[in-house]
């Protein structure tokens, strides 16, 4: 009997029920799309933010203080401590190795071009590093700084004469791609070493590199007699925005707290693992970049949560308006039920069953619609479609039921207050 009443009520009011179904479907679709993006493309968002550049800088722990002016390091090439170039492969062997997106070594060499003191930096441009017999990793400045703009071509790491010239330096010296550049490497008072370089491209980074010359690391090592050595290196890593726990004093953490901190991709915990893997290295976060990424990720997360909340509230209000109209339309039916002896619980059961059917159908329809929306958005923004996460389906159905029941609460309370005598007399 109850099932017959519910089914007839649903079929007789198709238009209103369809509007409620549409409202629930849209709300759940938006929520499902947000959840899918959060689960599937979180790393992709992080990788997009990696265009900010390196967020970790590693230097020798025993290094002397730099003597730099205008982007030029005036320490003798042999002064200060060094790191071994061969140790860089250890970055892909730490616990969070898969979060290391790119890295590049740096060896700065003071030089003179046309009588002007400038900084010449040796590094990797696009180099393949062998991690083990079965794995290789491609890295370098090109992957470390994807936002850098190069007019011309990136140099080949195997070409000893190739170089990039910073935009400001190129404009002041009148240099264009394809020209040959002569540089005298060495400090004042020392015998300079002449180097002939071919300008492969003009670099525009927006930083101090615009006043420098970049060339292959092997050339810088050979000119300074520092084969196999580097002054420092920079790392781009996918990290979780730091919170209060991330900034805890590691030495005061309990064993369980330390495991939690160590197994969370905070920039500080990744720096700690780097220092463990490379003896004599001191890894420090580039806070300007790390904090910017954290702020962006936090704000995006808040924005997505607000979007989902707004969609759900809109769905609740739409269901409430539809249910209120239904209650007003069915006053005589409600009065008749009560006059025949139906309790408030029985009347409430009829309306709640109708709302549950709408919620169940809306939840399933919203899940598939939201999954398709997330797939399309991920393809447009990141170039890769998002996967369908079936684990979201039960949560979407439960959330849809909660939306319809919440929207039905106030109209249902209103219906239970109706007096059968007054309703039937007016009808």
Q: Are residues 84 and 168 in the same domain?
A: yes
Picking from 267, 285, 303, the residue at the C-terminal end of a domain is: 285
Residues 339, 238 within the same domain: no
Q: On the CB side of 136, how many CA atoms lie within 13 Å of its CA? A: 6
Tell me, yes or no, whether 48 lies in a domain. no
Question: Do 93 and 33 lie in a common domain?
Answer: no
25 with 60, same domain?
no
Residue 64 Cα distances to 78, 81, 231, 423, angstroms: 11, 7, 11, 91
Lowest mean pLDDT among 250-254, 280-284, 372-376, 416-420: 416-420
**Whether residue 301 sits in one domain with residue 281:** no
Lowest mean pLDDT among 31-35, 224-228, 293-297, 408-412: 293-297
Residues 138 and 257 in one domain: yes
> Domain of 335?
2-43+294-426
Instruction: Please determine, for residue 358, whether its predicted confidence score (pLDDT) is greater than 90.
Output: no
- 47 has a pLDDT exceeding 60: no
Give pLDDT, residue 246. 82
- Of the residues 285, 309, 341, the one at which a domain ends: 285
Segment 239-244 shows an average pLDDT of 78
Q: Are 403 and 316 in contact (CB under 8 A)?
A: yes
Percent of the chain past pLDDT 90, that is, above it, reads 25
Can you give the pLDDT at residue 78?
45
pLDDT in tens, 359-382: 888 889 999 998 898 888 878 766
Residue 180: inside a domain: yes
CA distance 207 to 322: 59
DSSP line for 224-253: HT-TTEESEEEEEE--BPP-TTTTS-GGG-
- 38-47, 295-304, 369-378: which range is least confident on average? 38-47
In a domain? residue 49: no
Indicate whether 279 and 311 sit together in one domain.
no
Judge if 278 and 300 occupy the same domain.
no
In order, the DSSP letters of 89-123 are GGGGGSTTGGGEEEEEEEEEEEEEETTEEEEEEEE
Total domain count, the chain: 2
Selection from 317, 343, 337 nearest residue 408 by Cα: 317
- Domain match, 22 and 165 both: no
232 in a structural domain:
yes
Q: Where are the alpha helices (DSSP H) in 330-343?
A: 331-339
Domain presence at residue 301: yes
Residue 59 sits in the same domain as residue 111: yes
The burial of 329, by beta-carbon neighbours within 10 Å (0-12 exposed, 13-18 middle, 19 or more buried), is given as exposed
Give the three-state DSSP class for 165: strand
Residues 139 and 70 grouped into a single domain:
yes
Residues 215 and 338 in one domain: no
In tens, the pLDDT along 138-196 reads: 999 999 888 899 999 999 999 988 999 999 999 998 889 989 888 887 655 557 778 88
Residue in 64, 31, 11 with CA at minimum distance from that of residue 366: 31
pLDDT confidence bin for 42, thresholds 50/70/90: low
Instruction: Give the domain-ending residue among 257, 285, 313.
Output: 285
Return all residues near 165 (Cβ < 8 A) that are at least 6 apart. 173, 175, 181, 199, 201, 202, 203, 213, 214
- pLDDT at position 83 is 92
**What's the confidence (pLDDT) of residue 77?**
46
The reported pLDDT for the residue numbered 69 is: 47
* pLDDT score, position 103: 94
Q: Would residue 365 count as lying in a domain?
A: yes
Q: Is 50 part of any domain?
A: no
């Amino acid at each position: 009997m109850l099932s017959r009443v519910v089914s007839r009520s649903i079929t007789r009011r198709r238009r209103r029920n369809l509007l409620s179904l549409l409202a629930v479907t849209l709300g759940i679709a938006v929520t499902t799309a947000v959840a899918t993006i959060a689960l599937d493309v979180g790393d992709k968002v992080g990788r997009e933010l990696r265009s900010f550049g390196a967020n970790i800088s590693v230097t020798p722990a025993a290094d002397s203080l730099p003597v730099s002016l205008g982007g030029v390091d005036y320490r003798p090439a042999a002064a200060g401590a060094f790191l071994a170039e061969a140790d860089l492969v250890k970055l892909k062997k730490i616990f969070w190795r898969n979060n290391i997106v790119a890295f590049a070594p740096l060896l700065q060499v003071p030089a003179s071009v046309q009588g002007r003191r400038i900084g010449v930096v040796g590094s990797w441009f696009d180099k393949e590093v062998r991690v083990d017999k079965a794995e290789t990793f491609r890295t370098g400045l090109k992957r470390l700084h994807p936002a850098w703009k190069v007019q011309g071509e990136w140099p080949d790491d195997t070409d000893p004469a190739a170089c990039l010239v910073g935009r400001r330096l190129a404009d002041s010296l009148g240099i264009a791609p394809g020209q040959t550049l002569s540089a005298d490497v060495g400090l004042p008072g020392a015998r300079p070493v002449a180097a002939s370089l071919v300008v492969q491209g003009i670099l525009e980074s927006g930083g101090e590199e615009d006043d420098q010359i970049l060339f292959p690391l092997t050339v810088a090592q050979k000119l300074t007699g520092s084969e196999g050595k580097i002054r420092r290196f920079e790392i781009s890593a996918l990290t979780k925005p730091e919170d209060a726990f991330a900034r805890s004093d590691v030495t005061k953490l309990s064993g369980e707290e330390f495991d939690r901190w160590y197994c969370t991709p905070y920039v500080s915990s990744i720096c700690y693992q780097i220092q463990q893997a490379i003896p004599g290295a001191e890894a420090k976060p580039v806070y300007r970049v790390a904090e910017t990424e954290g702020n962006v990720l936090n704000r995006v997360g808040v924005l997505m949560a607000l979007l989902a909340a707004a969609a759900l509230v809109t769905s609740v209000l739409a269901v409430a308006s539809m249910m209120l109209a239904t209650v007003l339309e069915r006053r005589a039916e409600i009065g008749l039920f009560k006059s025949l002896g139906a309790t408030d619980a029985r009347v409430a059961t009829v309306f709640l069953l109708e709302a549950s059917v709408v919620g169940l159908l809306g939840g399933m329809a919203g899940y598939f619609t939201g999954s398709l929306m997330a797939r399309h958005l991920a393809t447009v923004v990141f170039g890769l479609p998002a996967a369908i996460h079936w684990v979201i389906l039960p949560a979407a159905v439960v959330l849809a039921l909660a939306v319809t029941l919440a929207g039905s609460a106030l109209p249902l309370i209103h219906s239970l207050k109706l007096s059968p005598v007054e309703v039937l007399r007016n009808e």
